[in-house]
Amino acid sequence: MAPDPLVRLDAVSKMFPGGIVGLDAVDLDIARGEFLTLLGPSGCGKTTSLRVIAGFESPSSGRVLLEGRDITSLRPFDRPVNTVFQDYALFPHMNVAENVGFGLSLRKLSGAEQAKRVGDALDMVGLADKLGARVSELSGGQRQRVALARAIVCEPRVLLLDEPLSALDAHLREQMQVELKRLQSRLGTTFVMVTHDQTEALSISDRIVVMNKGRIEQIAPPATLYDRPATKFVASFIGTMNLLQSHFVGRDGDRLRFNAGALPLEATSETGEAPGKGAVRTIGVRPEDLLAATEAATGTAPVRVSSIVFHGRTLRLHAELGQGIPVVIDAPRRAEGFQFSVGDVAHISLRRGANCPMLPS
């Protein structure tokens, strides 16, 4: 664990009625000023982790620490933490300024100081001209910004975001991802976000915590998660990954050589381990690391194309490699037309220099 985190979850477990495990001895350090995202499927423990930090859930065991101070027993409003909820939770009978300033009204601040801080917060989210607007007059994106302004106006040490962009359409969601990262960088506040959207997490996070069944599978920056997943779960959850059962045939320096059926592969091992000859290992291969050609050549293996999906600049081929082994290939879309059709045989090979991880058994 990091020596001086802002927030630390120390062996935190949470059991719900019926013996349902929400969190299972989770250890997590959150650094000052970072944008950390909790990512995983429904029921993995990401929202429970957020609620434990906020104080809305009490852990069954373990501690929550803020700057080394045990805050496990503190009530939510006694913690220097604010939350932006999925539905924004704005008060419909209040205008924008009243919504943003609600938390300040509970503090001993002068009216002038409250007005200044509300104005500054709205200016920061680009809504300085909406002070007197009613919530019902705002778009979805504007409501999300008001919720952010209300959260930051009290200057929390940690800002928790519970799927804050899930209610927005795809175009606005992408725009708000940029705005959210810009705001976090400007404030220097620690942001902890929950999302099930891996693209969102990869786009704006400094680090991502991938969770599964109440446990942490891996914590790493986005590029590390994508290029060097630590487990089969992370490999299959982050992006698209072909998980190919492959036989070890030898090594060339730090490159380990395998065969997945007739397809030659090269892989890397985080530990430097080289399995025994003929040993079977799971090799992760990204679709963009496979090349498709119309003619067979040395180092290629035949696959039969079962479907083709349009992905803009690329076309995704779903195919079968030998004995019905499914494989996915991303191929560039050419202006003069694509050379493969459903039912055709393509000859695939591994892109030179591809980084294919050997995954633990």
Which position has the higher pLDDT, 333 or 52?
52
* Helices and strands (H, E) in the chain, number of each type: 8, 20
Q: Give backbone dihedrals phi and psi of 294, rounded to 5 degrees, phi first.
A: -85, -20
Q: What percent of the chain is predicted at pLDDT more than 90?
A: 61
- What mean pLDDT comes out for the span 294-303? 93
Domains of the chain in sequence order: 7-236 (3.40.50.300), 240-359 (2.40.50.140)
Q: What percent of the chain is predicted at pLDDT more than 70?
A: 98
pLDDT over 60 (residue 1) = no
225-244: per-residue pLDDT in tens?
999 999 999 999 999 999 99
CB proximity list for 136: less than 8 A, separation 6 or greater: 92
Q: In terms of Cα–Cα distance, which of 322, 279, 282 is closest to 303?
A: 322
The pTM is what? Answer: 0.90
Q: In terms of Cα–Cα distance, which of 96, 128, 127, 101 is closest to 112?
A: 101
Band (pLDDT 50/70/90 cuts) for residue 175 is confident
Residue ranges of alpha helices (H) inside 68-110 are 96-100
Cα–Cα dist 338/247, whole Å: 33
Of 118-122, 261-265, 334-338, which gets the smallest average pLDDT? 334-338
CB atoms within 10 A of CB 313: 7
Band (pLDDT 50/70/90 cuts) for residue 2 is low
Tell me, what's the pLDDT at 20? 92
180-210: per-residue pLDDT in tens?
898 899 889 999 999 988 999 999 999 999 9
Determine whether 100 is exposed, middle or buried from the number of CB atoms within 10 Å of its CB (0-12, 13-18, 19+): buried
